[in-house]
Amino acid sequence: MLHIPISRWGEPYKSMEADPVVHFATGETLAEVSRANAALVERDMRHAWRARAVLREIPIRELLQMVKKAGQLYTEAELPLGDGSQTPEQFVRMQSATTGLPEHMCRFNMTKNKFVLENMDKILDSLTRGLDLDFLTRGYGVESRGVPVSYQAQSPVLGLVLPSNSPGVHTLWLPIIPMQIGLVLKPGPQEPWTPYRMANAFIQAGVPRQAIAIYPGQGDIGAAVLNSCPKSLIFGGQATVEQYKGNPRVQAHGPGFSKIILGDDEVDNWEAYLDMMVDSIFVNSGRGCINCSGIWVSRHGRKIAEAIAERIGPVEPLPPDDPKSALAAFTVAGQAEGVWAAIETDLKEPGVHHCTERFGPRLVKRERCAYLRPVIVYCEGPDKAIAKKEYMFPFATVVECPQEQMLAKIGPTLVCSAVTRHPKFQRELADATHIDRLNIGPIPTIQLNWLQPHEGNIVDFLFRARAFQFDPKMVAI
C-alpha cells in the first residue's frame, strides 16, 4: 500500500493515523495518507520564516527557470510519491479515480498547469505590472523613471486549504514560489495528488525542500493553516466565502456564479453564440467556478434554453477512461442526490421550466458514486430562486430579464461574458463592482487569460506597496 506522509518542510513524517484514498468506482484503496494533527502544523510554523529565507537566496530569474523545469517534470517524469513513485499516467488515473473527473480532463488540467509554469515569467511580469522582480526580493528599488518603490511581503508563506473536487484551482498557487514565498498546503481529502506531485516537481527542479510543507488531514488542519499563516487562500462553498468576507488574512474562493449576458443589441443573433454558451457551461464537466451557470437575456430565453438543452441534454455518463467521457462523477456519498433534490424543489416554482427533462432522468446512481446529467432551466423572470444557483456539474439557467435591470439582479459574478456593442451598457458593465473578470464579446467564460489577475491580484494579496525613502549614501540600489 502506497503511503503518503506529511511533509514538514520537506521532511517526511508518518503519522500514527492515516486516511485511505479510495477509487470512486471500484472501492479500491489507492493509497493511505498520513493525517496531521493541528498542533503539529502550528508548531511547524516556527520555521515559516526559513521558507522565505531559503527562497530569497535564489534570484527570482533562477526560480522562474526552476518552475519551468518543474512544469516539464510534472507532466513527463516519474516522480517520488510517499514511499513509492508515480508516473504521469498513474497520476492521471489516480486523480480521476478519486475526484471523479474523466481522465482526459485530468490530462488537460496537467497541460494547463504546465502552461502556467512555463509562462510564469510573463505572468509575474503582468501581475506586477512590469516591476523589476528583484524589488520583491529586496523589498524596495528605484523604477526606471526614477521613482523609489517598496513592496513588503506580508507573510513568509501562503497557506492553502485546497478542494477535493476541482484540480483546476491549483494554477492559483503556482506563482507563489517564484515570488520567494513559501507554501503551506492542506490538500483536499480526495485530491492529495496535485499538491504532492507539484511539490516534488519543484524540489526535483531545484527549489529548496524547506520552502514547502504539506499537511493532509481533516477539518482541524484547514483551521490550523488559516490560524497560523498570516496569509491564506481557502476554497469552499458559499458559507466559507461568507465566513471569511472582509478578513484581510484570508482570500476565500467559492462558487463563481459566472454568467453570460447577451445585450439587447445582440440577443437576436443568439444562434451565432450558441457554441460559446455551450462551451462555457459544459467544458470540464461544468465543475469550475468559471463555468457559466446563468445566461441572461431580455428575450428569446426559451429558444436559447431549448437549443442548449438539445446540444448537451442527451449526454450520458461514460467510464472515466473513455476519451469521450464528458461528465464527472459525484464521489461523495449522497451529494448528487442532495443536489438533485434541491433542483427538483426549485423546478416547482411557477415560471421555471426544465428544458433537459425530455432527454431522460438526470440523476444516475451507480454502486459507489452518482452522476448528474446536464440540466438547463429556462426562467421567465430574474427573481426565480433557481436563477441564483450554481452546482458542480453542467447546470445553467437561461434567465429573461430587461437589460436595464440585469446588473442589479445578477448578483456576485466571477466571470461575466457580455456580448454587446452598446457603449453605455459596456460602461455600466465595467463599473459593476460585483463582476470580477469582465469579458466584452463572445468569449467563453472558461477562457482565461493567464496574464490577468483572478479574484484579486495574488501579488497585491502577498505584498504591500508602501512608501520608501532612502539616502543614496547609505543604501546602494
Partner 1 sequence: MSLEQRVRQARERLDAHVREIVHWHFSPETGTPFWLEKAKELPFDPLKDINSFDDLRKFPFFEDEWLRGGPVRRWVPKAYAQRPIYVFETGGTTGIPKSRIVVDDFRIDYEQFSDTLPEKYFPKGSNWLMLGPSGPRRLRLAVEHLCQYRGGICFCIDLDPRWVVKLIKKGWMEHLRAYQDHCIDQAMTILSAGHEIRCMFTTPKLLDALCKRLESENSSIEKAGITGIFCGGTEMTSQWIRFMIEEYLGPNVYIAPTYGNTLMGLAAAEMPTAEQNYKITYYAPEPRAVVQVVDFDDYDKVVPYGQTGRVLLTTLTREFFVPRFAERDEGERELPSEKYPWDGVSGVRPWRGIAAQTTVGVY
Residues that bind partner 1 (CB under 8 A): 15-17, 35-40, 42-43, 46, 223, 226-227, 243, 247
Q: Report d(CA 48, CA 46) in Å as an integer.
A: 6
CB 443 to partner 1: min, Å: 36
Exposure of 371 by Cβ count < 10 A (0-12 exposed, 13-18 middle, 19+ buried)?
buried
**Residue 296 φ/ψ region, left for φ over 0, alpha for ψ in the -120 to 50 degree band, beta for the rest:** beta
Grid cell for residue 232? 491564506
The three state secondary structure string of 167-199 is HHHHHHHCCCHHHCCEEEEECECCECHHHHHHH
243 close to 223: Cβ distance less than 8 angstroms: no
| Cβ distance to partner 1 smaller for residue 8 or 114 | 8
| Torsion sign, CA atoms 365, 277, 289, 242 | negative
The residues near 317 (Cβ < 8 Å, ≥ 6 apart) are 325, 327, 329, 364, 366, 371, 373
9 close to 210: Cβ distance less than 8 angstroms: yes
The residues near 475 (Cβ < 8 Å, ≥ 6 apart) are none
CB 17 to partner 1: min, Å: 5
CB 16 to partner 1: min, Å: 4
The residues near 134 (Cβ < 8 Å, ≥ 6 apart) are 59, 60, 141
CB 37 to partner 1: min, Å: 5
| Cβ distance to partner 1 smaller for residue 228 or 284 | 228
| Cβ distance to partner 1 smaller for residue 40 or 432 | 40
CB 227 to partner 1: min, Å: 7
| Cβ distance to partner 1 smaller for residue 39 or 272 | 39
Give the single-character DSSP code of 385: G
The residues near 276 (Cβ < 8 Å, ≥ 6 apart) are 260, 417, 442, 443, 444
Residue bearing cell 494547463: 112
Number of helices (H), then strands (E), belonging to the chain: the values are 16, 24
Count of other CB atoms within 10 angstroms of residue 89: 11
175 close to 146: Cβ distance less than 8 angstroms: no
| Cβ distance to partner 1 smaller for residue 46 or 424 | 46
228 close to 42: Cβ distance less than 8 angstroms: yes
CB 220 to partner 1: min, Å: 8
Identity at 375, one-letter amino acid code = V
| Cβ distance to partner 1 smaller for residue 38 or 295 | 38
CB 235 to partner 1: min, Å: 17
CB 41 to partner 1: min, Å: 10
CB 241 to partner 1: min, Å: 12
| Cβ distance to partner 1 smaller for residue 234 or 278 | 234
| Cβ distance to partner 1 smaller for residue 16 or 467 | 16
CB 344 to partner 1: min, Å: 25
| Cβ distance to partner 1 smaller for residue 100 or 217 | 217
| Cβ distance to partner 1 smaller for residue 165 or 258 | 165
